[in-house]
Amino acid sequence: MSRKKPSVDRVFHALGDPSRRAIVEKLSEGPMSVSRLAEPLNITLAAVVQHLQVLEESGLVQTEKVGRVRTCRIEPAGLAVVEQWVGDRRSMWERRLDHLGDLLAEPDESD
Amino acid sequence: MSRKKPSVDRVFHALGDPSRRAIVEKLSEGPMSVSRLAEPLNITLAAVVQHLQVLEESGLVQTEKVGRVRTCRIEPAGLAVVEQWVGDRRSMWERRLDHLGDLLAEPDESD
DNA sequence: AAATTACTTAAGTATCCACTTGACAATCTC
DNA sequence: GAGATTGTCAAGTGGATACTTAAGTAATTT
């Protein structure tokens, strides 16, 4: 119900904020509650909740409320989006270097 | 002279902006001039220059001016920072899953 | 059932930041 | 050297957004 498709845009925007990255870092230690996440950060609980909203909409984090405590966990699919984007850039960059040799060897090749 | 240490903070902040990501995407096709980079984006040249400043300070892009044209190229070290950060999260996450089995097998272990 | 815990929501504020305009500088072309 | 090209710099503006406070809800504890 609350799971959004992790778009490159949303994921990178979410990770652009240091507090949000800190949350993801903490969550990679394991699932934990909102107040537990808030402890090391010196911002209010309310602020953390807002960050969690962004993180959840980006698909980086998944949360579930049982009783009065909301438990947050990392959602690997979100990080996968980042890895793929970076990987795509890198592979284009490497492909270019490969073809560089071709161009120098055969300057007049029709594709 | 203009090369900064690519910090996680700067790199993620830089990639948080869609225009800047578009620039990096374009640059992975190969080095090109500022005005050439500006073409597909519908923002002014001045804006592109500002984005390039951020990208260069983050270590994602390297530029060099010869004559009146500044040529921009991708700097792989910047992307490497992202890859490592994501990799670190992922490995922590995986390590946790490994130890999960241990905890279930030996519930009474002193740290 | 009163108090405590663990959030949630709304509204306001202040800072940041992407972008523009406009004036300028350097280089190249004719 | 006149004009065009390519980029640079400074200052300003508008909108996004990270954060706070304050009030409220729901679950647990005593």
pLDDT, tens digit (0-9, with 9 covering 90-100), for B53-91: 999 999 999 999 999 999 999 999 999 999 999 999 999
Residues with Cβ < 8 Å from A19, sequence gap 6 or more?
A: A41, A43, A47, A48, A51
CA dist., res. B49 & res. B38, Å (int): 9
User: Per-domain residue ranges for chain B?
Assistant: 8-105
CA dist., res. B85 & res. B97, Å (int): 19
A25 shares contact with chain B (CB less than 8 Å): yes
What residues of chain A lie within 8 A of the CB of B30, using their CB? 96
Long-range contact set of residues A35-44: C-beta below 8 Å, sequence gap at least 24: A37/A72, A43/A19
pLDDT at A80 over 80: yes
Quick: pLDDT tens for A32-77.
999 999 999 999 999 999 999 999 999 999 999 999 999 999 999 9
CATH class of A8-105: mainly alpha
**Are B12 and A8 a contacting pair at CB < 8 A?**
no
pLDDT at B95: 85
Mean pLDDT of the region A81-100: 88
**Are A86 and B89 a contacting pair at CB < 8 A?**
no
DSSP SS3 for A40: coil
Mutate to test the interface with B, among A82, A84, A97, A100 (most CBs of B within 10 A): A82
pLDDT at B44: 96
